[in-house]
Amino acid sequence: MQSAFDIIAEPNRRAILSLLVSSQQSVGQIERQLRMSQPAVSKHLRVLRDAGFVESIVDAQRRLYRLKPESLQEVDAWLAQFRRFWSAHVDALERHLDRMDQPTPTKGKKRRRR
Amino acid sequence: MQSAFDIIAEPNRRAILSLLVSSQQSVGQIERQLRMSQPAVSKHLRVLRDAGFVESIVDAQRRLYRLKPESLQEVDAWLAQFRRFWSAHVDALERHLDRMDQPTPTKGKKRRRR
DNA sequence: CACGTATATGCTCGTAGGGGTATATAAAAA
DNA sequence: TTTTTATATACCCCTACGAGCATATACGTG
């Protein structure tokens, strides 16, 4: 599990990162909001931490995780080379892309139109 | 293989997409430049095509593949929520610290001081 | 026609990684 | 202390998917 692209390929991990945008969260809070098992949350957080996407601070028995978004810049940088393609003719597309995925956990299902 | 994030998680696919930024390429050209086997290239192209990342036009026995970058906007849109962090993330961190503490009320009293 | 070229696809195999359960660890509450 | 809360980790299973190889398909050239 090396590249940032692998990290964000996992839907639950993306959901966790999205959660942490609003504010830092404890493992338990993430667990409840995303309706995942506690070990699952801990494991994903471990991956995210090892990859530098989040960091944790200890608060008694809890651990509060917060975003460390620098790692995402790798993805952003890679994406940059394609921007010129869609900057030409965006318009209508923007609207429908404002859908944020909320986690239907248990990966597997993805609504993709077409 | 559903989401755009899965598509770009694969390094060879990212390489193919990057190749196609400069101009359209035939399967053989991709094969040679990336030094992958022909079946590997074809399979990745199949995935990319099914996901709408590329399209192909027939040129005799060849197929010329070119970028269809709209699909990448899904990734770009998701990434958007994090951009504010790496522009002004020092301020963001400060605000997080002020908003933390959320109950999981063990018994409902006790506010953490700091 | 036969033959070379270009690409696609089916099959098998190997492995990475996600989920679950149980358990370990640590701190707080009783 | 004992018990409860919060999180981490180890182990096992299981599926997805990428690689390789062989083959199928289709077009071009002689």
Residue A67 in 3-state DSSP? strand
| pLDDT at residue A85 in the model | 85
Using alpha carbons, select from A114, A111, A104, A110 the residue that is nearest to residue A36: A104
- C-alpha to C-alpha distance for B35 and B86, rounded to whole angstroms: 36
A57 touches chain B (CB under 8 A): no
Q: What is the DSSP letter of A99?
A: P
Residue B1 (CA) to nucleotide D16 (C1'), in angstroms, measures 9
Size (chain B), residues: 114
Instruction: Identify which of B70, B79, B96 has the shortest CB distance to residue A79.
Output: B79
| pLDDT at residue A74 in the model | 94
List all residues 6 or more positions away from B108 whose beta carbon is below 8 Å from its beta carbon: none
B11 touches chain A (CB under 8 A): yes
Count CB-CB contacts under 10 A for residue B90: 7
CB neighbour burial string for B61-70, b if at least 16 within 10 angstroms, e if fewer: eebbbebbbb
Stretch B60-81: mean pLDDT, rounded? 94
Inter-chain CB pairs, A–B, below 8 Å: 91
Evaluate if residue A104 carries a pLDDT over 70.
Answer: no
| pLDDT at residue B99 in the model | 44
Return mean pLDDT, chain B. Answer: 83
| pLDDT at residue A88 in the model | 61
- C-alpha to C-alpha distance for B72 and B69, rounded to whole angstroms: 5
Residue with tokens 């494991």: A43
Which chain B residue lies closest to A109 (C-alpha atoms)?
A: B2
- The reply to whether A12 Cβ lies less than 7 angstroms from strand C is yes
CB of A95 closer than 8 Å to CB of A108: no
Order of strands, edge to edge, in the sheet holding A25-26? A25-26, A62-67, A54-59
Query: Could you report the per-residue pLDDT of A4-24, keeping only the tens digit for each?
Result: 999 999 999 999 999 999 999
| Between B96 and A76, the higher pLDDT residue | A76
Which residue's alpha carbon is at the shortest distance from the C1' of C8? B42
Evaluate if residue A100 carries a pLDDT over 70.
Answer: no
Evaluate if residue B114 carries a pLDDT over 90.
Answer: no
Residue with tokens 């018994």: B107
pTM (predicted TM-score): 0.80
Query: Could you report the per-residue pLDDT of B25-57, keeping only the tens digit for each?
Result: 999 999 999 999 999 999 999 999 999 999 999
> Which chain B residues are within 8 Å of A8, Cβ to Cβ?
5, 78
Instruction: Identify which of A5, A26, A69 has the shortest CB distance to residue B86.
Output: A69
